[in-house]
């Protein structure tokens, strides 16, 4: 990944770009992703000896915690850089597309996914693959951004891009469903829904919103030439300051989650 925004070649104006991840920046700017994902481990309740897949495992921090009690964790992620970081923790992880998982049918007792499914903008093939690799009766425990997630941030990005004649939808990289939409998709993939909730989770950022934008919003920033990105980030930051910056100077992002526990039929 490149040095400033991680976009090789100064891509500008050709629509959505792939998201790249820098493990050092990820640790610095996104450590909260694994920390705030911990409630999923209580819902998952990994058992010693179980085979569990972490779908979109990132740098493997939560994967490692899930394995602490003796479950056999395997991870997949689309980012070679994050997979390398996860391997550095000694984890069994590979680069793979969630819509084409490299495992035989009924390989896993459970599947875990934290803050990854919203990057998979076509949910049907992904949920189909999760159902396929789960054993009968297996559980799928996950969390993703829900409808309204980071709405203030997206609004500020959209305005800043519009001022430059760029339509935000052309760079939009996420899928933030309503609970009803995701429930219907899970059920269509054959799952029985145990619980599925949407809730606001205002999220304290470890640093400035500009760090969040550089880490998570690459697709939007890449819509302008490399030498115009600092100004774009500045404009977005200025627009968000009144709503997302606290009087003592912290930045709190307007996260909204959808969290679920579902099961594949036992027979």
Restricted to residues 131-170, the positions that interact with ligand BEZ (CB under 6 A) are 145, 149-150
How would you label 141-167 residue by residue, b for 16+ Cβ within 10 Å and e otherwise? bbbbbbeebbeebbbbbbebbeeeebe
Our CB check for ligand BEZ shows the closer of 174 and 251 to be 174
Residue whose pair of structure tokens reads 């998201």 in the numeric block: 19
For the CA atoms of 130, 133, 138, 140, the dihedral, rounded to the nearest 10 degrees, stands at -20
> Any bridge partners for residue 205, and if so which?
none
Helix, strand, coil abundance in the chain, percent, nearest 5: 40, 25, 35
- The least distance separating ligand BEZ from the CB of residue 86, rounded to whole angstroms, comes to 18
Residue whose pair of structure tokens reads 């880490």 in the numeric block: 215
Binding-site size for ligand BEZ (CB under 6 A) equals 8
Our CB check for ligand BEZ shows the closer of 129 and 218 to be 218
**Taking CB under 6 A as the rule, does residue 260 contact ligand BEZ?**
no
- The least distance separating ligand BEZ from the CB of residue 69, rounded to whole angstroms, comes to 25
Are the C-beta atoms of 53 and 133 separated by less than 8 Å? yes
Residue nearest to ligand BEZ (CB): 145
Are the C-beta atoms of 17 and 223 separated by less than 8 Å? no
- The least distance separating ligand BEZ from the CB of residue 216, rounded to whole angstroms, comes to 4
- The least distance separating ligand BEZ from the CB of residue 150, rounded to whole angstroms, comes to 5
**Taking CB under 6 A as the rule, does residue 255 contact ligand BEZ?**
yes
Our CB check for ligand BEZ shows the closer of 182 and 216 to be 216
- The least distance separating ligand BEZ from the CB of residue 102, rounded to whole angstroms, comes to 25
Our CB check for ligand BEZ shows the closer of 75 and 138 to be 75
d(CA 85, CA 58): 8
Q: By rule CB under 6 A, what string of x and - marks binding of each residue 207-236 to ligand BEZ? A: ---------x--------------------
Phi, psi of 205 (to 5 degrees): -85, 145
Our CB check for ligand BEZ shows the closer of 131 and 157 to be 157
User: In this structure, what DSSP letter does residue 264 have?
Assistant: E
Our CB check for ligand BEZ shows the closer of 131 and 153 to be 153
d(CA 125, CA 134): 14
Restricted to residues 105-134, the positions that interact with ligand BEZ (CB under 6 A) are 115, 118
User: In this structure, what DSSP letter does residue 92 have?
Assistant: E
- The least distance separating ligand BEZ from the CB of residue 141, rounded to whole angstroms, comes to 16
Restricted to residues 174-203, the positions that interact with ligand BEZ (CB under 6 A) are 174
- The least distance separating ligand BEZ from the CB of residue 50, rounded to whole angstroms, comes to 26
User: In this structure, what DSSP letter does residue 102 have?
Assistant: S
Are the C-beta atoms of 56 and 126 separated by less than 8 Å? no
Interface residue list for ligand BEZ (CB under 6 A): 115, 118, 145, 149-150, 174, 216, 255
């Amino acid at each position: 990944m490149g040095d400033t925004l991680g976009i090789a070649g100064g891509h500008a104006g050709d629509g959505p770009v792939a998201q790249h991840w820098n493990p050092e920046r990820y640790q610095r700017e996104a450590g909260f992703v694994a920390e705030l994902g911990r409630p999923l481990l209580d819902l998952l309740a990994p058992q010693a000896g179980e085979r569990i897949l972490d779908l979109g495992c990132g740098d493997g921090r939560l994967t490692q915690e899930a394995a602490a009690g003796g479950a056999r964790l395997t991870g997949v992620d689309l980012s070679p850089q994050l997979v390398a970081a996860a391997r550095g923790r000694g984890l069994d992880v590979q680069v793979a597309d969630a819509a084409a998982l490299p495992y035989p049918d009924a390989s896993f007792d459970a599947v875990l996914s934290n803050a990854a499914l919203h990057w998979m903008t076509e949910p049907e093939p992904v949920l189909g693959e999760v159902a396929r690799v789960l054993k009968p009766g297996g559980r799928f425990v996950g969390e993703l951004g829900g409808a309204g997630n980071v709405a203030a941030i997206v609004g500020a990005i959209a305005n800043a891009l519009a001022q430059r004649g760029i339509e935000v939808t052309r760079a939009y990289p996420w899928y933030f469903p309503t609970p009803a939409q995701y429930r219907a998709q899970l059920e269509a993939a054959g799952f029985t829904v145990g619980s599925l909730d949407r809730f606001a989770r205002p999220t304290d950022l470890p640093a400035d919103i500009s760090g969040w934008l550089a880490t998570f919003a690459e697709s939007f920033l890449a819509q302008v030439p490399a030498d115009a990105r600092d100004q774009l980030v500045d404009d977005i930051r200025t627009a968000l300051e009144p709503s997302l910056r606290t009087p003592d100077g912290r930045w709190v992002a307007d996260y909204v989650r959808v969290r679920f526990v579902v099961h594949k039929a036992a027979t």
